[in-house]
Amino acid sequence: MRNIKLVLEYDGTNYHGWQTQPNLPTVQGTIEDTLAKLTKTPIQIIGAGRTDTGVHAEGQVANFQTDAQIPVVAFQKGLNAILPRDIVVCSAIEVPPEFHSRFSATRRRYRYTILNREYPTALSRQTSYFFPTAIDAPRANVLCQVLVGKRDFSSFQKTGSDRINPICEVYEVSCSRKGEYVYFEIEADAFLRGMVRAIVGTLLKCMRKDDAETGLHRILEAKDRAAAGTSVPAHGLSLIEVKYNAKTVFVA
């Protein structure tokens, strides 16, 4: 069996997240249906990140196993010819049998995009969150550094999540501005469900207070979702990169 690694870009607006669900359109299900048409056999694809409903991706990674003797470049071209226009295969390579897009990943990076001006947008309304209150990006960037490190992020985990271990190591958090858009980026070894959206919502709430750093520390120490701020909407979030050790993804 060959192991094929894909890098994917998609607009999550029309999908109920990545993971296949009965009678609902999902990114995984759409790709699997397309692969079945291409290879004439059922195929299960594994994603590096289980993005939620409405969340986008610029660098989602997935892999699947197949005995089809289609040239690897034809997987990219063939899938792009059949997939709906809101899902694109950026690259396809053959990788070692042991490569697993989810379990082999060492880091994931997400970006949250905010339109920060007095009026909304007609053009990027599905990929950015309109927030009219002025954001002090340098101030927010300083506050972001409180989150760097390995700790319990239970305060930012979606209620009802089935993940047992709430410990994550956050390597980098930043806030920057480019024109009317503000970007929060977070890179970590793992993410709890809803973690990025809860963090951004909490940062937007805390940054306007004089004791913002102290307040954020208290929220982390509480290990209670009720202590943090309201989550921002899904449509501003995008999975932009998944990282691996080089030895796990060499071309077979």
Q: Which residues are part of the catalytic machinery?
A: 52
Q: What is the DSSP letter of 28?
A: H
Instruction: Return the DSSP state at 230.
Output: P
Contact between 160 and 88 (Cβ < 8 Å): no
Q: What are phi and psi of 96, to 5 degrees?
A: -60, 155
Q: Judge contact between 166 and 153, C-beta under 8 A.
A: yes
The answer for residues whose C-beta is within 8 angstroms of residue 33's C-beta and 6 or more apart is none
Three-state DSSP state, 243: strand
Joined tokens for residue 229: 């701020």
Interatomic CA distance for residues 60 and 242, integer angstroms = 7
- Report DSSP state, residue 209: S
DSSP tag of 158? P
Question: Residue 199: which of 93, 110, 70 has the closest Cα?
Answer: 110
Helix (H) or strand (E) holding 74: helix 72-82
Pairing of strands 149-152, 56-66: unpaired
- SS3 assignment, position 168: strand
Q: Output phi, psi for 117, to 5 deg.
A: -155, 180
